[in-house]
Amino acid sequence: MTASHSADPLDQFREWFAEAEKREPGDANAMTVATAGPDGRPSARMVLLKGLDARGFVFYTNLGSRKSRELAANPYASLLFHWKSMEQQVRIEGPAESVTDAEADDYFATRNRLSQIGAWASKQSQPLQGRFALERRVAWFAAKFHVGQIPRPDFWSGFRVIPERIEFWQAEEYRLHNRLVYSRSGDGWKTETLYP
């Protein structure tokens, strides 16, 4: 990380993300989403970033999933991007809100047909009685939607994490890493550097 940085952390993120898309061998948009249930116990999993706008970071999921249930009970999340090849990570914290139906519909329409069928077939996070049960559901929905556009299931949508805190971390020699934190301050952002 250079001494100069953007005044807006979303601009800073876009700059790092664009570089990660060029250099990271895996999915540059892969991120950890950490949530906590009403009992305060955390859980984390990998998902893909599917949207970024002035309001925040968007991902999509089955609304019956554990992460969705936890966000319904405790609507805060933490995101983590780790780009190993670039020795960078970005941590994002803030409240999570549901995307609009129109946003979810628009994104669902961009998914390939098999992924759309998979969304219908999966009872995400529920017990599965053998792989054949899933394959049978996939076949059933493939037959149901054999022609035409596949509608978005009402149990499948997205969340937007609205950043209140974003930390940019850059590895340096001897573990003397650079850490820059943006925190919401009114309508803008304040920044501070942290010890490694």
pLDDT digits (tens, 9 = 90+) for 7-46: 999 999 999 999 999 999 889 999 999 999 999 999 999 9
Active site residues: 175
* 3-state SS assignment for residue 153: coil
CB 145 within 8 A of CB 117: yes
Cα angle value 42/43/48 (rounded, 5°): 135
User: What residue ranges do the domains of the chain occupy?
Assistant: 9-110+154-193
pLDDT digits (tens, 9 = 90+) for 51-67: 999 999 999 999 999 99
Does position 2 have pLDDT exceeding 60, yes or no?
no
Give residue 144's pLDDT.
95
Instruction: Give the Cβ contact number of residue 184 at 10 Å.
Output: 15
CATH topology of domain 9-110+154-193: Pnp Oxidase; Chain A (2.30.110)
Q: Name beta bridge partners: 33.
A: 45, 79
pLDDT band, residue 4 (cuts 50/70/90): confident
5-35 per-residue burial string, b: 16 or more CB within 10 A, e: under 16: eeeebbebbeebbeebeeebeeebbbbebbb
Does position 91 have pLDDT exceeding 90, yes or no?
yes
DSSP 60-118: EEETTSHHHHHHHHS-EEEEEEEEGGGTEEEEEEEEEEEPPHHHHHHHHHHS-HHHHHH
- Show the tokens assigned to 49: 């970033």
pLDDT digits (tens, 9 = 90+) for 147-184: 999 999 999 999 999 999 999 999 999 999 999 999 99
Does position 191 have pLDDT exceeding 90, yes or no?
yes
CB 73 within 8 A of CB 35: no
What's the longest Cα–Cα distance across the chain?
59
